[in-house]
A and B are shown apart, each in its own frame.
Chain A
Amino acid sequence: MDAIFLQILNGLDKGGAYALIALGLTLVFGTLGVVNFAHGAIFMMGAFCAVTLEKLLTLSVKVKDESVTFFDAYKETPYLELWFGDTGTAIIDWSVPLSIILAIPVMLLIGIVMERFLIRHFYKRPHAEQILVTFGLAIVLQEVVKAAFGANPIPQGAPDIVSGSAAVGALFGLGEAVVYPWWRLIYLAFSLMTIGLVFSFLHFTTYGMVVRAGMADRETVELLGINIERRFTIVFGIAAVVAGLAGVMYTPVLPPDYHLGMDFLVLSFVVVVVGGMGSLPGAVAAGFLLGILQSFSSMTEVKDIFPGIDQIIIYLVAVVILLTRPRGLMGRRGVMES
């Protein structure tokens, strides 16, 4: 029982990341009709926003270490600590959450630039060409990041106060041994909140309603004299922000490296397909579902019965779903079907 509970929790935070990436992918499919293979790279860029901010905050200078008295010793001290003392240290400690403030405008800008200068010209071109050009872009982005930050993963710490584990077991009347890292709980809450925000934007604002109408029937919306293309640009930007924030917050869970994007891209496409192309709730549900499934399949008890199942479970599910329910769990009719 304890183990099962823990596996579900384990799956939920990973599922949260899948859901956030898949949400953006689906939004872009549904509105622009574009298959974006660079979406994983956007997630990765978000993660590197956090890395960049941390690097900026910890810009250091060599200061004489007073505690060593036998000889002249120097230690690296961040400017922030020199200038602001303990406040500076706290700022550095909170660099990951602070990165959100940086990531929102940066990712929005990246998204809008991408849409304006590249994606826009591929609305009417075949899906194969969309896949290829965004695949090329993904390679370019990841190589640029590799050139700038090197090939090794760069660990990011969560703020000290939440770096421990929560005794969730006691909370739910389970064993005391059931503990779970605070940060991953925060990630789960964060992803739920972001998903909630995106959905309320789409459902409760006029802007969002127009976008949804455009998803359902673009021509009619345009006939009403609404400039849907401009809104779609913003939608692309929002998708980029969502993926970017997912990346920022994921850094304490998984140290980012340049091929993080490609790793998550395939998975999130699988999530989208399982959820049903063009279905936002489908993408979210499938994200969490596959996350949980994956964490169950990596239990040793399961692996003993099906060796290697943890490596392929998600793909296997995708194959089965595509063959039995071509439209996915919640797919709409006629989306991406020739």
Chain B
Amino acid sequence: MSNTKIVSPKKDMIFMAILSAVVLTMPLWLQPFGAAYPDLMQKFMIFGIFAIGYNILFGLTGYLSFGHAAFLGVGSYTAVWSFKLLSMNVIPALIFGTVLSGLFALAIGFVSLRRSGIYFSILTLAFAQMSYNLAYSVLTPITNGETGLQLEQADPRVLDRMSGIVADGSLPTPNLFGIEGIGYSGFYICAALMLISFFIYLRIFRSPFGLKLRAIKSNQNRMGYTGFSTRPYLMTAFVISGMYAGLAGSLLAVTDPLAGAERMQWTASGEVVLITILGGVGTLIGPLLGAGIIKYFENIFSAFNDTVLLNAFSFLPDWLAHPVASLVGLFVGEGWHLTLGLVFMLIVIFLPGGIMEGISRLSRLVTNRGKSDSHENKEKEQTSAGEV
């Protein structure tokens, strides 16, 4: 699970190159899975960013936050406001969204990080719930309450108007100097940002800073007697992960310029926790895998409805088809969250290290069968499997 080997930057560059190749060719190799449409791939990227950011906090320092949905929400609202007031160009939206979430994280982190363990979790929970409640009530002028914040024809868009871009007839769409924020071009914008985010995240993992964060997770007490003040380290990690969440939130607004308060509810933070855990907490690519898997199955499962199910089970005799279809129906479509909850429980119970732990267990099983090696070798496998 943990990275015990010190990896050379050269290897990391190769890794980065492979990852970029894999991500950028997604539209090709996702075809056979029926997942190669831009909307879904954008979600992979966005929730990938959200999850790797979360992993910087939870994976490296072990601090379990239930407040990250609030940062995602702040990112979304800010981006939509940037579209409304400034320009439909995504650059200001992303910058403002990320920076503002960072500031918000700074404020919440300043208070929450005075406590650790369960107290920290409850403090972040309290802040998330406060943000959510406020977004629905007194902050309605900013958030537009239950309807959600949306674009309008009459928005000022000061920068756009100054440069002579006027929306005609239909609502304008977010773009990067004319490149559309939706469709395949939108996917490549998200993919590029994800890769940049991942690169920074990789550097953090490999740096002395990352090592110190992991040391905090491992033994905070020792850290103090080692001459480190842990608070500023935790603070930095918290703010960075808040900014990642803000970036993800603004990207959500790019793909669909509508921001609602439900994005900020604490149960929404549960989703990113689930993604991270499913993939593998503290592992490098685990959170990306988790994001891909969850969003992929959410997409498939939610699409099922009773008719589709009945068709699927039409090979069964009638008296059996109906009960089977309604039983399965519990877990798909509307019932997707039930599946999610069950998976969540199973993972925490049986595979706390997530998919990455599963993979390393499997690979150990295979190599051990291949060559019955000494204890020493087994240990090496363990460390190298945990590297990525």
Measuring CB to CB, which residues of chain A are less than 8 angstroms from any residue of chain B? 35, 118, 121, 125, 127-129, 131-133, 135-140, 143-144, 146-147, 262, 266, 269-270, 273, 277, 307-308, 311-312, 315-316, 318-319, 322-323, 326, 336-338
Contact = CB atoms under 8 A, between A and B. Distances in A.
Nearest to A338: B117
B121 A131 contact: yes
Contacts of B115: 322-323, 326
Contacts of A322: 114-115, 119, 122-123
Given A132-B64, A311-B136, A319-B111, 7 more contacts: A121-B349, A128-B121, A136-B342, A139-B341, A319-B123, A336-B118, A338-B220
B308 interface: no
Contacts of B119: 273, 322, 326, 336
A119 to B, nearest CB: 11
A147 B117 contact: no
A307 B138 contact: yes
Interface residues on B, range: 35 or more
B349 A140 contact: no
A135 B274 CA distance: 10
Contacts of A128: 62, 64, 121
A318 B122 contact: yes
A168 B330 CA distance: 48
A311 B122 contact: no
Interface stretch (B124-132, B149-157, B167-175, B310-318): B124-132
A129 B352 CA distance: 8
B205 interface: no
A143 B341 contact: yes
B159 interface: no
A131 B64 CA distance: 9
A318 B220 CA distance: 25
Interface of B: 62, 64, 111, 114-119, 121-123, 125-127, 129-130, 133-134, 136-139, 220, 266-267, 270, 273, 277, 330, 334-335, 337-338, 340-342, 344-345, 348-349, 352
Contact of A127 (B118, B270, B330): B118
A262 B267 contact: yes
A337 B342 CA distance: 30
B220 A147 contact: no
B138 to A, nearest CB: 3
B70 to A, nearest CB: 12
A319 B129 CA distance: 12
B338 A136 contact: no
Given A139-B341, A143-B341, A133 B270 contact: no
B357 to A, nearest CB: 13
23 contacts: A35-B118, A125-B352, A132-B273, A132-B348, A133-B349, A136-B341, A136-B342, A137-B341, A139-B267, A139-B344, A140-B345, A266-B125, A269-B122, A269-B125, A270-B122, A277-B118, A308-B133, A308-B138, A315-B127, A315-B130, A316-B130, A337-B117, A338-B220
B335 A147 contact: yes
A139 B270 contact: yes
B277, B334, B341: residue with the most chain A Cβ atoms closer than 10 Å: B341
B137 A311 contact: yes
Nearest to B348: A133
Contacts of A318: 122-123, 126
A125, A322, A326: residue with the most chain B Cβ atoms closer than 10 Å: A322
Contacts of B130: 311-312, 315-316
B115, B277, B338, B342: residue with the most chain A Cβ atoms closer than 10 Å: B338
Given A135-B344, A270-B126, A312 B134 contact: yes
Contacts of B118: 35, 127, 131, 277, 336
Contacts of A338: 116-117, 220
A22 B335 CA distance: 30
Given A266-B126, A266-B129, A308-B138, A139 B335 contact: no
B129 A135 contact: no
Given A270-B122, A336-B118, A312 B133 contact: yes
B122, B129, B130, B138: residue with the most chain A Cβ atoms closer than 10 Å: B122
A139 B337 contact: yes
A245 B242 CA distance: 40
A269 B334 CA distance: 29
B272 to A, nearest CB: 12
Contacts of B337: 139, 143
A125 B349 CA distance: 10
A143 B335 contact: yes
A318 B123 CA distance: 8
5 smallest beta-carbon distances between A and B, as pairs: A139-B341, A308-B138, A136-B344, A143-B338, A136-B345
Nearest to A267: B129
Nearest to A326: B115
Given A132-B273, A144-B338, A273-B119, A323 B114 contact: yes
Nearest to B341: A139
A132 B122 contact: no
A144 B115 CA distance: 35
Contacts of B134: 308, 311-312
Contacts of B267: 139, 262
A124 to B, nearest CB: 13
Given A322-B115, A338-B117, A311 B345 contact: no
B376 to A, nearest CB: 29
B123 A147 contact: no
B344 A132 contact: yes
Contacts of B116: 338
Contacts of B121: 128, 131
B126 A147 contact: no
Nearest to B326: A147
Nearest to B129: A266
